[in-house]
Structure formats: C-alpha cells, structure tokens
Structure 1
Amino acid sequence: MAEPFISEMRMWGFNWAPVGWAKCDGQSLLINDNQALYALLGITYGGNGTTDFNLPDMRGRTPVSVGQIQGDFVDFGSKGGVESVQLTMDEMGAHTHEVRCSTSDANSKTFASNHLATALNATAQVPTPFYGPTNNSLVGLNPNSVSSNGGGGHHNNVQPSTVVNFCIALTGIFPPRN
C-alpha cells in the first residue's frame, strides 16, 4: 500500500491488519505510544484522554460522512441506527381493514362471492357458522370485529451488505491542514 496519512481508514479484505495499521474495532491505545494519531483523533471515539484513547469501532457499522442526516447534524464518532426495529402504531401508515357482509339471512353452507352473511339465529348465544348469499346487499362490519394481527416482534433492519474489515493507519504522513 502507498504511504498513508496517519488516521486514514481503509477497507481490508483480511482478518488481520497490515504492519503500521490497526483494525477499527474500538480498541484502546496508549497516548504515549501513538502521539501523532492521538493528536488527530483525540477522544472522538472514546478513552480517558489522559493515558489512552480509542480507535473507531466499525464492526457492524456503515460509514457515513459528517453532516446533516434528516435534519440532525452528525459529527465524527457519532453512532446511529439499529439492527432490528419494532414498529409502533405511530410509524404505520393510516389504513383500514374492511370486511363486508350481507344483512340477509344465510341460505347455504357455501360462501358466495366470498362475503359473510347474517347468522340464521342472531339471538342465539352459541356460535353460528357464517354463510354467504348471492345478492349484493353488503354492509361494513363494526371496526372492533377485526382483531389485531402480528406478534409485535422486531424485524431485521440491516441493508444487504458484504463484510470487510476497516483498518486505520497508525503511522505515515501527518496530514497537512488547509
């Protein structure tokens, strides 16, 4: 590799870092042993700033540039996003679940046009099978008659990806400032 700038990060296709580089896995380094790198990173990625500092931890992360994201400013060292999400009612678009049925009495055990019909004995306290008529006298059911669906669990929120390691240059050229 060409001589890098100190603190330059590169993707690397192996499970080890080349000489003069370290894996971006959040590890702690001593300031005394890495003064040039500390001068550039400081405690942006953690550490106590007295004896040690941390390297970026890119494990399971997607790099994002400094700037505005959906109205919020993100700076070096910021972390965001989640690997799985549980949707709330506020996050789901407004929608209805309409079921149509007939007001006519059932006269067959076969559904006609996939519609439900009024039970033969509407005052009975026992379950009554629903059957459908062939006419078009359809009305909407009470919204409370449609029960909730889903288990309320989390779903995967990870974009398609290929795994590589990120490495950071410990030595090299101290980057000039503009």
Structure 2
Amino acid sequence: MSDSFIGEIQLFGFNFAPYQWAMCQGQLLPISQNTVLFSLLGTQFGGDGRASFGLPNFQGNAACAQGQGAGLSPRNVGDSFGEPAVTLLATEMPAHGHAALVYNQGDAAKRHGTPLAGDAVISPIGADAFTGNGTTNTAFANGTVGSSGGGQPHANSQPYLALNFCIALNGVFPQRP
C-alpha cells in the first residue's frame, strides 16, 4: 500500500485500527502528541484547541461531501446532521384507507380463534366488529380497526454495511494546491 496522507480517512473491513491509524469514534487526542494532525483538523470535530482536539465520529453516521448541492443546504466539514429516528405526524401522511372484506362463517364447527383451512374471519369473543343495522355491505363498528404508531418514532436509517472508518495519524503531509 502507498504512503497515507496524515488525516486521510479509509474504510477497513476488520475490527481494529491498523498501526499508525485510529478509529474515527469522536475520541479526543492530546495536541502535544499529535501536533501535525491537529494542524490539519483543528477543533472542527471537538476538543478545546488548547490541550485536546477531536477525531471525526462515524459511529452510526454516514459520510457526506462538503459543499452545497442543488436545492440542498450547505454542508461544512465537521457538520453533523440528520435524525436516527423520526415520528411521523398525521399531517405528514397522505389520506388513505384500508379496505377489508369479512365474511361470516355460518358453520359453527369452522369458527376458530386461529384460522384453519375452510375457516372465515369472525368477530373476537366479547367484541362485535359489525354495526347492528344488519344490512349487507355495512360499515365496521368504531374501533374495529385501530390506529398504529401511537406517536412513537420509527428508525430512520438507510441500508448499511458495517465497516470501520479509520484516520491516519502519521504519513505524508498533504500539500495545499
């Protein structure tokens, strides 16, 4: 492998940082022992800038290029954004319905709590899913089909493959253009 640039970030498929590399887990490093890396990173990933500075934290995060894409807000090196979980509000979902067809099984021998071959859906014991008007094509009683979610957030993660981001602590100093 060729010489790395100091501060270069690479992906590795093993569970440790190679020699002269560190895991990108947001840890603080002493400036006195890493002056060259500090001169490149500064405090954009944390630290007080007097005794310590931080490494990038890729734990549960994805990489993003700096700059501003069309229609997007600007992103700077060191920015952290996004949400690990999102709660959808009723106002954020399009109006929709859930159709259900239910047939009553006239043969009492074929009425079971768990469906078997030849069974049909029946109302649960102690509850009546149907309104009392007795007509065909009638509506379900209120509360038969309940809401879901309950205001709880759902995970908001894109598909992922677990790899380790590591940063080079030593190597070639990158020359500015």
Deviations 1:48-103 (A, max 9, x none): 0011100001111110100226531111111111222111233223x25499xxxx
- 1:132 aligned partner: 135
The structure in which a higher percent of residues are strand is: 1
Secondary structure of 1:90's aligned partner? helix
Q: Counterpart of 1:92 in structure 2: which amino acid?
A: M
- Does residue 81 of structure 1 match 2:79? no
1:33 equivalent in alignment to 2:27: no
Give the aligned partner of residue 57 of structure 2: 57
User: Which residue does the alignment assign to 2:47?
Assistant: 47
TM-score (norm 2): 0.71
2:2 corresponds in structure 1 to 2
Root-mean-square deviation (CA, aligned residues, Å) is 2.9
Deviation track 1:99-120 (CA, whole Å, cap 9, x = no partner) reads: 9xxxxxxxxx99xxxxxxxxxx
Counterpart amino acid of residue 169 in structure 2: L
Map 1:1-178 to 2 at 5 A. Answer: 1-68=1-68, 70-93=71-94, 95=95, 97=97, 129-133=132-136, 149-150=147-148, 151-178=150-177
AA partner of residue 79 (structure 1): S
Between Structure 1 and Structure 2, how many residues are aligned?
Answer: 146
Match of 1:118 in 2: none
2: CA distance, partners of 1:49 / 1:33: 13
Q: Which has the higher contact order (CA 8 A, sep 6+)?
A: 2
8 Å Cα contact 1:97/1:146 also seen in 2? no
Deviating runs (4+, > 3 A) in structure 1? Answer: 96-99, 144-148
Task: Report the Cα distance in structure 1 between the residues aligned to 2:155 and 2:65, rounded to whole angstroms.
Answer: 24
**1:152: how far off?**
1.9
Distance 1:145 1:166, change over 3 A: closer
Unaligned runs of 5+ in 1: 100-108, 111-126
Q: Which has the larger radius of gyration?
A: 1
